[in-house]
Amino acid sequence: MTLELNYTPPYDWNWMLAFLGARACAGLELVTPERYCRSLSLMGHSGLLTLEPDTARHRLRVGLTPGLAPVARQVSERIGGLLDLAHDPAPTLAGLGPLAASRPGLRLPGCIDPFEQAVRAVLGQLVSVAMAAKLTARVAQTFGEPLPGNPGWHLFPEPRRLASLAAEQLRPLGMPLQRARAIIHIAALCAAGEFPLERPASVEQGIRQLIQLPGIGRWTASYFALRGWQAPDVFLADDYLVKQRFAGMTPGQIRRYAERWQPWRSYALLHIWNSDGWLAA
Which residues are designated catalytic?
239
Fill in the amino acid letter for 212. Q
Question: By C-alpha distance, which of 196, 157, 6 is closest to 83?
Answer: 6
Which DSSP letter does residue 195 get?
S
State which H helix or E strand residue 30 sits in: strand 29-31
As a whole number of angstroms, the distance between CA 237 and CA 113 comes to 26
3-state secondary structure of 281: coil
Whole-Å CA distances, 160 to 11, 37, 115, 153, 164? 37, 25, 11, 20, 6
Query: Within 10 Å of residue 248's Cβ, how many Cβ atoms?
Result: 7
